[in-house]
Amino acid sequence: MPLLIKNARIITATDDYHADLFAADQTISRIESGIAERECPAGTEVIDAAGRYLFPGFIDPHVHIHLPFMGTHARDTWETAGRAALVGGTTTLIEMICPGKADQPLAALETWLGKARGVAPCDFTFHMGVTRFDAAAEGQLREIAQRGIRSFKVFLAYKGALGVDDRELYHTLRLAKELGVVVTAHCENETLVAERCAELLAAGKTLPEFHEPSRPVRVEASGVAHLLAFAELTGAEVYIVHTSCDEAVAEAVRGRERGVNVHIEVVLPHLVLDRSYTHLPDFEGAKYVMSPPLREASQLPRMWSHLRSGTIATVATDHAPFDFSGQKEMGRGDFTRIPNGIPSLEDRVNLLYTHGVCAGRIDLHRFVDAASTRAARIFGLKGKGTIAVGADADLVVYDPAYRGTISAKTQHMATDYSAFEGWEIKGRPSVVTVRGAVMARDGKFVGRLGHGRLVPRSA
Ligand SMILES: [Zn+2]
């Protein structure tokens, strides 16, 4: 259905102006002042955006939906995650494909694609997890890149499960360089993590609060330095996921100064939560266990400052949804058995707006850039990340006057808890469209499952 948005204040990564916007055939076809309803085809849906912002659809470049991990599965499906994303203003997701070491990459792609296709209401693409590198895997990775999955993911952590060794890392980066594919990387030194976990457990330190000391900031900074040495010598473009601390950012910046092509991501939990949450009584601290872990409160202003300056490019979630009951609880008596993850897909945009824009830490342009535009550019998402004639009509009419609170009782994510229970949000999306179709209104999903499609990507 054609769409006319009247009286919009359009905010992009660079511009701020008032205009009307008309979209038909899934793309934005006119942006002008004073587009009259009578000029539009019969059946055009008209939305008055007076007093609201009009943002490009937001992009979360780091989510897990189908996720077998630690002998269990993450709770969301593309139905629940897609609804949650859209209600929260996110119109495109990049999901991590995480095959086991024995799995074939092409078969894994089919598995992950099969879960999204026909179900996802929002648009999507993937980072292809490389958990093994041999001749068979290499051939399949070439084919996967050719099919438009133009980014890989490697783990320097999770020894024996998902992690690659240095030889595999080297050859993955060489292949990525040859193919022009970006390599996203989870950077923690796995040996340090494994040895420290064993020592803490042996000393009877089994509670969730000991997860952070098992992998302190230097463990992450060391992982970043390690990755960047390999990136420098192979010439590959790399993207460091969920950077949690100033020490890790500093290592990435050092690499950048030597000429390494490196992008830095922060995830929402590392901007608004600190490690004191892992001390909550009655094992509730397990709700806040993720890797890299939540850090000292003194890290948060430093991360906001890197985000404000653009040193940190993107804000994602690392959404990995496990229930407290029955799943997080697997780690009672042993923090290393707590499934990692803090569900935040639905809340990313509103919390970034509330704690970033409203709190004066970032301006509207950096907000749009970090939560949408930059991810589209780094990962080559065609038609995404901006408001312009010819771009996909992925739009968020955003109401800055809205006030509400977050609760597991009202969220669309499938988990039985919210890490942000009772938190206030200032602003939320009033209308969210994906390629011109209205998918969410005022906190409710009103779209069609299966509307989402695989986003075409350029090098
Ligand atoms: Zn992740």
Report pLDDT for 69: 81
Rounded distance between C-alpha atoms, residue 288 and residue 416, angstroms? 14
- 174 CA → ligand 1 middle, Å: 23
pTM recorded for the entire structure = 0.98
- 7 CA → ligand 1 middle, Å: 39
Rounded distance between C-alpha atoms, residue 21 and residue 31, angstroms? 5
Is 50 contained in some domain?
Answer: no
Report pLDDT for 456: 96
pLDDT above 90 covers what percent of the chain? Answer: 96
pLDDT(159) > 80 = no
- 410 CA → ligand 1 middle, Å: 25
Mean pLDDT to the nearest integer, 245-254: 98
- 267 CA → ligand 1 middle, Å: 10
- 199 CA → ligand 1 middle, Å: 26
- 186 CA → ligand 1 middle, Å: 7
- 5 CA → ligand 1 middle, Å: 36
- 193 CA → ligand 1 middle, Å: 17
**Number of domains making up the chain:** 1
Q: What is the CATH number of the domain that holds 283?
A: 3.20.20.140
Report pLDDT for 71: 84
> How do residues 426-451 score in pLDDT, each as one tens digit?
999 999 999 999 999 999 999 999 99
Report pLDDT for 379: 98
- 64 CA → ligand 1 middle, Å: 6
- 12 CA → ligand 1 middle, Å: 27
Is 272 contained in some domain?
Answer: yes
- 30 CA → ligand 1 middle, Å: 38
**How many C-beta neighbours within 10 Å does residue 425 have?**
20
Mean pLDDT to the nearest integer, 147-156: 96
The overall average pLDDT reported for the chain is: 97
pLDDT(254) > 80 = yes
- 158 CA → ligand 1 middle, Å: 12
Report pLDDT for 163: 85
Which residues lie at CB < 5 A from ion ligand 1?
Answer: 318
Domain of residue 316, residue span = 58-378
Q: Any long-range contacts for 214-218 (C-beta under 8 Å, 24+ apart)?
A: 214/335, 214/336, 215/157, 215/188, 215/291, 215/292, 215/293, 217/244, 217/245, 217/246, 217/247, 217/248, 217/295, 217/299, 218/247
> How do residues 73-85 score in pLDDT, each as one tens digit?
999 999 999 999 9
Query: For residue 396, what are the CA distances in angstroms to 60, 123, 400, 421, 443?
Result: 14, 14, 12, 24, 12
Report pLDDT for 14: 98
pLDDT(292) > 90 = yes
> How do residues 32-55 score in pLDDT, each as one tens digit?
999 999 999 999 999 999 999 999
pLDDT(353) > 90 = yes
pLDDT band at 157 (very low <50, low <70, confident <90, very high): confident
- 244 CA → ligand 1 middle, Å: 13
pLDDT(247) > 90 = yes
pLDDT(121) > 90 = yes
pLDDT above 70 covers what percent of the chain? Answer: 100
Is 242 contained in some domain?
Answer: yes
Structure-model confidence comparison of residues 180 and 162, the more confident one: 180
pLDDT band at 423 (very low <50, low <70, confident <90, very high): very high
Q: Which residue has the tokens 């990459």?
A: 105
- 33 CA → ligand 1 middle, Å: 42
Is 154 contained in some domain?
Answer: yes
Is 453 contained in some domain?
Answer: no
Report pLDDT for 403: 98
User: Among 265, 353, 373, 362, which residue's Cα sits nearest to residue 12?
Assistant: 373
- 163 CA → ligand 1 middle, Å: 13
Is beta strand 182-186 parallel, antiparallel or unpaired with respect to 238-240?
parallel
Is 385 contained in some domain?
Answer: no
Is 267 contained in some domain?
Answer: yes
pLDDT(360) > 90 = yes
Mean pLDDT to the nearest integer, 139-153: 97
- 18 CA → ligand 1 middle, Å: 38
- 69 CA → ligand 1 middle, Å: 11
- 96 CA → ligand 1 middle, Å: 7
- 270 CA → ligand 1 middle, Å: 13
Mean pLDDT to the nearest integer, 232-251: 98
Is 347 contained in some domain?
Answer: yes
- 424 CA → ligand 1 middle, Å: 26
